Chain A
Amino acid sequence: MLGFQLLNGFTFAALLFVVASGFTLIFGLLRIVNLSHGALYLLGGYVALAVSGWTGQFAAGVLAAMAAVALAGLALDQGLLRFVRGYELRQVLLTVGVAFVLNDLALVVWGGDTFTVPTPEALTGATEVLGVFYPTFRLFVLAAGALVFMLLSLLIHRTRLGALIRAGVDDAEMVAATGIDIRRVFLGTFMLGSALAGLGGALGGAFLSLYPGADAEILVFSLAVVIIGGRGSLLGAALGALLIGLLNTFGQVWFPELAYFVVFGPMALLLAFRPFGLFGRPA
């Protein structure tokens, strides 16, 4: 039973990490609190549902979700956010508006039903780990989360683009003064962060399920992860996701009527001592 709950916590954490890593990249570099990140997640889930339905290929659905949501991010950044650059409140309100519009669109296209993205044969059924039989697809999500963490870490810490992103998180103005078109780095990061929301939607759509409102739930959890981890920190997002994933799972088991408090209480406590999160720095 404990093993089962631990695995539930870890797998939910992996999904949260995928979604929140995109959120924190965008928040860290562009200083945009993208409250449409949850809607982008949901969009990714629906695209994965549609494309894996047509093609019969889960992988095609995942790739299509990432590509479609990256393009949605491109449109959002170049079509809307570009005009309110530097105005934080306007940016946030704009992303809230976009979230509503995307939700309504999804409601029109997919209706109010609950869907689950079909998973491939090889990932259905259960596998024995930690002495329990555990759904194979959830283990796959855990591996995918770990892989995303490794790939993003390599990108951020070992490549020149990663150095640009880190420098931009530190001081975007000085990056521009050094001769780099920081706007292109911003756009690339916005698309990457969106693609991660899309990937999260495809995985979450198979693992949890898709329904109107799923976006708000994942958004609230992602916000908590990023607040705990600190703005723009990948390692922070990973630890934050683990903490939230485990607290959420055990909170639901042990204190079902206090589940939200169990998640957000410790977050508030942490913020009292580390107002910028575990790895955050003041702007």
Chain B
Amino acid sequence: MLSVEGLEARYGGARVLNGVTLDLRRGEVHAVLGRNGMGKTTLVRAVMGLSSPLVTAGEARLGDARLTGLPPHRVARLGVALVPQGRRLFPSLSVTEHLTLLKPAGARTGWTMERVFAAFPRLAERRKHRGGQLSGGERQMLAVGRALMADPTFLLMDEPSEGLAPVMVRALETVVAQLRAEGLGILLVEQNLYSALAVADRVSVLETGRVVHAASAAAVASDPGALTRFLGVH
């Protein structure tokens, strides 16, 4: 289980996380919702061990292992992978190079390049293209594929549906559901409540760096009004 306990974090003098507590089990999708600027990306970055923000209290744990304080590559090797907001592909790398950065092309265990191409056939057709030459949907698929090549048990996805056409959002939901079925735990950061509800098991709402509401997706679906009040109009 990936657990976050009382996490506080700041950028310079600005405190952004004010004691976030939540957990993520294998084989579930936990949606983290919240309006712009509420600290969702900051939470994901802090869990991943990226150099900013600075974590000042609390911790993230993976089972018995403390993640907080580890450099990002160690967090990744323990089984936590990131699909960052805005994709952040490498403009100078081809599709194949994105997928073989961590593992050589001939790797035969866990996620392999062939398996990613089987899951995302569009990427296979574009294997020689560079990150910058892909369409929005292909970019997101590549960002997911790149993260999967680390054989994660937990996946942190930061607004994956942002900027995607509705048909691509549906495709993404299918992918998320498949990964969950394979036993991955997915922290799904979203601004769009309905996109999150399509795949989530649980929902937490982040507001000014705190979880202000947590519920099962079923409960939210039967009474969305309880949530939309936190999220503004949807």
A residues within 8 Å of B by Cβ?
A: 86, 160, 163-164, 166-167, 169-171, 173-183, 281
- Kindly list 5 other residue pairs between chains A and B, CB separation below 8 angstroms, not including A179-B102, A181-B73: A163-B93, A170-B90, A176-B76, A177-B81, A178-B76
Do A176 and B90 have beta carbons less than 8 Å apart?
no
Do A182 and B92 have beta carbons less than 8 Å apart?
no
Tell me what chain A mostly uses at the interface: helix, strand, loop, or mixed.
Answer: helix
Task: Take A163-B97, A164-B101 as given contacts and tell me if A177 and B84 are in contact as well, using a CB distance cutoff of 8 Å.
Answer: yes
Do A170 and B84 have beta carbons less than 8 Å apart?
no
The listed residue with most B CB atoms (<10 A of its CB), out of A170, A173, A179, is A179
Contact with A along B91-130 (1 / 0, CB 8 A): 1110001001110100000000000000000000000000
Task: Take A167-B101, A178-B150, A180-B102 as given contacts and tell me if A173 and B90 are in contact as well, using a CB distance cutoff of 8 Å.
Answer: no
Residues 132 to 160 of chain B near chain A (Cβ within 8 Å): 146-147, 149-150
Alpha-carbon distance A180/B103, docked complex (angstroms): 10
The listed residue with most A CB atoms (<10 A of its CB), out of B72, B82, B88, B104, is B72
Do B48 and A170 have beta carbons less than 8 Å apart?
no
Do A171 and B90 have beta carbons less than 8 Å apart?
yes
Do B102 and A166 have beta carbons less than 8 Å apart?
no
Task: Take A173-B50, A179-B73, A179-B150 as given contacts and tell me if A167 and B90 are in contact as well, using a CB distance cutoff of 8 Å.
Answer: yes
B37 within 8 A of A: no
Do A178 and B88 have beta carbons less than 8 Å apart?
no
Do A169 and B92 have beta carbons less than 8 Å apart?
yes
Count, A-B residue pairs, CB within 8 A: 68
Question: A181 to chain B: which residues have CB within 8 Å?
Answer: 71, 73
Across the two chains, which residue of chain A brings its CB closest to B105? A160
B36 within 8 A of A: no
Question: A175 to chain B: which residues have CB within 8 Å?
Answer: 101
Alpha-carbon distance A169/B71, docked complex (angstroms): 19
Do A177 and B72 have beta carbons less than 8 Å apart?
yes
Do B92 and A167 have beta carbons less than 8 Å apart?
yes
Least Cβ–Cβ distance between A46 and chain B, in angstroms: 36
Do B91 and A178 have beta carbons less than 8 Å apart?
no
The listed residue with most A CB atoms (<10 A of its CB), out of B71, B82, B90, is B90
Least Cβ–Cβ distance between B77 and chain A, in angstroms: 5
Do A86 and B97 have beta carbons less than 8 Å apart?
no
Question: B146 to chain A: which residues have CB within 8 Å?
Answer: 178
Least Cβ–Cβ distance between A146 and chain B, in angstroms: 23
Do A166 and B92 have beta carbons less than 8 Å apart?
yes
Alpha-carbon distance A171/B101, docked complex (angstroms): 13
Question: A281 to chain B: which residues have CB within 8 Å?
Answer: 91
In the assembled complex, 18 residue pairs joining A and B whose CB atoms fall closer than 8 Å, in A order, are A160-B100, A163-B97, A163-B100, A166-B90, A169-B92, A171-B88, A174-B90, A176-B72, A177-B73, A177-B76, A177-B81, A178-B76, A178-B102, A178-B147, A178-B149, A178-B150, A181-B73, A281-B91
